[in-house]
Structure 1
Amino acid sequence: MAMDRRVFLVLLLAGCADTSPQGPLTAITPPSPAPRPQAPAAPAPSPTTPVPAGELAFDTWLADFRVRAQAQGLSPQLLDRELAGVTPDPKVISLDGRQPEFSKPVGDYIKGVISEDRVAVGRRKRDELAFLPQLESRYGVPRDILLAVWAMESAFGQLQGNFDVVRSMVSLAADGRRRAWAEGELIAALRIIDSGEVSRAQLKGSWAGAMGQTQFIPTSYRSMAVDFDGDGRRDIWGSNADALASAANLLVKGGWKPGVGWAKEVILPAGFDYSLAEGPREVPSWWEARGVRRADGLPWTAADAAAPAGLILPAGAAGPAFLALPNHYAIRKYNNSTSYALGIGLLADRFGGGEPPITAWPVETPLSLSDRMAAQIALARLGFNPGPADGVVGAGTRKALREWQQSRQLPADGYMSSDMVARLKAQAGLQ
């Protein structure tokens, strides 16, 4: 799994928006792609034989791509060898366009992330891996954060994906929805192969091109993968040390601050202005002056007390509240999702012996795609711009929802619950 994941885009759903949770982001090993044909390309059809529109479009894209790739320095021989007989993978295209029918509530997502089995494995790994102290010393990223990334992205290296990354990138580029991004990743993958560092057969990953134990897309591999074990190869597939050091390097380049926390759970006072969520980033004393206090009652460390923090309400006013410190946002350079970053941080806390949030996650009903889209349509109809009615409850939709909630004198937490959907639909006449 960036995480385009961008400058630091990586991981499972490269290019993903900051959305409401839609299930664990742990890598899943999908079926292997069909093998690339080795026979010579079939002869061109005769003028009397119609060419299927999809094949014509793909052939046109491929010919145009070869021109662009050669302009960027890739040799005709490399392109001939690696793209001969390549075809789009329909499974990749299907997965790229799939919008989940139901959006998993954040509390359910977190419970799925932090299972007792996963916590036990992580605690065992933190003691077993002899290279972790040296890695922490070099990069300043705590081992528990790196173990949490490892757990989330590939189940500690067990589920890395078995898609041919070149074919996946060809499929996404030819499909066109994210063409510029996919072509950039395809060129990066071809450069990796051309360098001799990794063979085509080894270049396996998720359907979206995320590779190895910590799920790097090709551009991130080229710029941020690390040979930590000193064997001369940046092996994020087979080397635990290389994979975790590469993740640490990416986090550091994404803004990780050594010695600073990632977030702290807080308790909000009665009558609190919830519209401050996802708003200002101020030092903890600024929030304390507004009645916000740490849930555990402990004092802030000197480093945390000097760090700007933003309020996040992942489950709205009814759920746990957090002051997100700079390293929360560094984690989001790996995967730009509030829920993902929370999962990493809370799982890391548990590896280190911490407890779950003090405030319980609310019990919620998953929102259907049609309900999420209806809420966006209702907000637009009522004069609050949520962006496109695509069912993705991102920053724009949350902002519009907060504005509508303020207009109705409701707690302006920006959280799209089933109750908010019902209220919006009723006011907009969508019932």
Structure 2
Amino acid sequence: MDRRVFLVLLLAGCADTTANAPLAPSTPVAPPPVASTPAPAAPAPAATVETGGQVAAFNAWLADFKPRAVAAGVPQAVVERELNGLTPNPRVISLDGRQPEFSKPVGDYIKGVISDDRVAVGRGKRDQLAFLPSVEQRYGVPRDILLAVWAMESAFGKIQGDFDVVRSMASLAADGRRRAWAEGELIAALKIIASGEDTRDQLKGSWAGAMGQTQFLPSNYLSTAVDFDGDGRRDIWRSDADSLASAANLLAKGGWKPGVGWAREVILPAGFDYSLAEGPREVPSWWEAKGVKRADGLPWTAADAASPAGLILPAGAAGPAFLALPNHFAIRKYNNSTSYALGIGLLADRFGGGGPLVASWPVEQPLSLGDRMAAQIALARLGFDPGPADGVIGAGTRKALRAWQQSRQLPADGYLSSDMVGKLKAQAAIS
């Protein structure tokens, strides 16, 4: 499961931000047209040397990797057949190192997730797919959650990616930044091929190795994919039943609790202690004692009332608040992003006939990569450790921001808005 999480963070660009999980794996973008003016001749030799060095480094890694793949249980003949003559894919390396320049506000992200067209398609699939009740009964995961995963991961199977997974994993492994993880996934892909269950040509997916309609890593395919339609193959590329049952199995293994909700929108009282966000996980009655109420005014079900819940403020004190139940965190085993898990849950609610949120998302401007990094540098300079200044606004940065906000008698919601960036830069004297 941890490897599946890591994959989707790659796809999303960075962990647990409000902007980065894609609505579906993106197709390669064509480069801009080359200008008609000839390029200067001088840079060409340098580029050739760099490319040659990359290929040499790739070949050195490959020679070292082959015996380790055999030792890990991949037949020698499969290793030689699939890896001999393999070359790195420079586009994979480029995509792996790309940090988004702007971070989309969570409200804009959610609005993109819950489009009228997507809701209509999902409701249609809900009625058309006769196997869904059986999947739901076997794994305990509601059909609406599975449809939401299907929608988010591959636009209901339409956008699966066309990268050669073996070449992609080899490229990432040789590059070195994620070597251990990528080598493990490459070995898993080779084992799939060696088993005869799928061919190399079948193993197509995203640049980061996610395959099929539910975007499984090779290791997840080996451990979690299922043959639900009974044709003898676990076909997450062409079989809707296999794809959604495999996603259900993954969520079940990730701790999905049947009969329990995923989250509920709540209203917070005046003067609430926002530093409790992303903090304690207590039963709803504990939160009610602090003045927290369900936004819809309905009572808690018995199962939800007995479940620990944590407060999340995805857009800070100015946006909607949620008590996240255990299944919110099960969704995050699929993709460890708060905004992704919210998107899945809210989209699933709409598939099931639910309405919009009570609170509105604030209108915000996207934060640039420079602003996100400047905020992290400012926090560190002011004595609040956010971790590396990488522009990834994850749990460490939010914790540091909450501590700084408390020191300034500000609402400690841990949310990095453009206003908060300005305050941090001013106090840390960053221009």
Specify if TM > 0.5: yes
Counting only pairs closer than 5 Å after superposition, residues 339-358 of structure 1 correspond to structure 2 as 339-358=339-358
DSSP-derived class of the 2:152 partner: helix
User: What is the deviation of 1:194?
Assistant: 0.5
**Per-residue Cα deviation, 1:8-27 (whole angstroms, up to 9, x for no partner):** 96687389522232263411
User: Which residue is equivalent to 2:4?
Assistant: 5
**Per-residue Cα deviation, 1:60-85 (whole angstroms, up to 9, x for no partner):** 10011012112112222111100121
CA distance change for structure 1 residues 358 and 56 in 2, over 3 Å: closer, same or farther?
same
**Per-residue Cα deviation, 1:352-399 (whole angstroms, up to 9, x for no partner):** 010111100000010000000000000000000000000000000000
The partner residue of 1:20 within 5, 18, 21 is: 18
TM-score by length of 2: 0.93
Write the distance in 2 (CA, Å) between the matches of 1:50 and 1:125: 50
**Per-residue Cα deviation, 1:194-248 (whole angstroms, up to 9, x for no partner):** 0000010111000000000000000000000010000110000000000000000
User: Which residue is equivalent to 2:40?
Assistant: none
Q: Is the 8 A contact 1:10 1:217 kept in 2?
A: no
In structure 1, give the amino acid aligned to 2:3.
D
User: Which residue is equivalent to 2:204?
Assistant: 204
Write the distance in 2 (CA, Å) between the matches of 1:23 and 1:367: 16
Write the distance in 2 (CA, Å) between the matches of 1:60 and 1:137: 50
User: RMSD of the TM alignment (CA)?
Assistant: 1.8
- Size of the alignment, in residue pairs? 413
Write the distance in 2 (CA, Å) between the matches of 1:14 and 1:110: 15
Write the distance in 2 (CA, Å) between the matches of 1:352 and 1:93: 40
**Per-residue Cα deviation, 1:176-200 (whole angstroms, up to 9, x for no partner):** 1100000000000000000000010
CA distance change for structure 1 residues 20 and 250 in 2, over 3 Å: closer, same or farther?
same
User: Which residue is equivalent to 2:46?
Assistant: none
User: Which residue is equivalent to 1:288?
Assistant: 288
Q: Is the 8 A contact 1:5 1:15 kept in 2?
A: no
User: Which residue is equivalent to 2:85?
Assistant: 85
Q: Is the 8 A contact 2:256 2:327 kept in 1?
A: yes
**Per-residue Cα deviation, 1:291-325 (whole angstroms, up to 9, x for no partner):** 00000000000000000000000000000000000
The answer for unaligned runs of 5 or more in structure 2 is 31-48
Q: Is the 8 A contact 1:3 1:10 kept in 2?
A: no
Q: Is the 8 A contact 2:161 2:204 kept in 1?
A: yes
DSSP-derived class of the 1:332 partner: helix
User: Which residue is equivalent to 1:64?
Assistant: 64
Write the distance in 2 (CA, Å) between the matches of 1:392 and 1:117: 31
Determine which structure has the larger helix proportion and give its number. Answer: 2
Counting only pairs closer than 5 Å after superposition, residues 392-431 of structure 1 correspond to structure 2 as 392-431=392-431
User: Which residue is equivalent to 1:113?
Assistant: 113
The partner residue of 2:28 within 27, 30, 38 is: 30
Q: Is the 8 A contact 2:169 2:183 kept in 1?
A: yes
Percent identity over paired residues? 80
Q: Is the 8 A contact 2:104 2:367 kept in 1?
A: yes
User: What is the deviation of 1:426?
Assistant: 0.1
User: Which residue is equivalent to 2:44?
Assistant: none
User: Which residue is equivalent to 1:44?
Assistant: none
User: Which residue is equivalent to 1:301?
Assistant: 301
Write the distance in 2 (CA, Å) between the matches of 1:27 and 1:68: 31
Write the distance in 1 (CA, Å) between the matches of 2:12 and 2:370: 25
Counting only pairs closer than 5 Å after superposition, residues 37-186 of structure 1 correspond to structure 2 as 52-186=52-186
The answer for unaligned runs of 5 or more in structure 1 is 33-48
In structure 1, give the amino acid aligned to 2:26.
I
Q: Is the 8 A contact 1:154 1:160 kept in 2?
A: yes
Q: Is the 8 A contact 1:12 1:25 kept in 2?
A: no
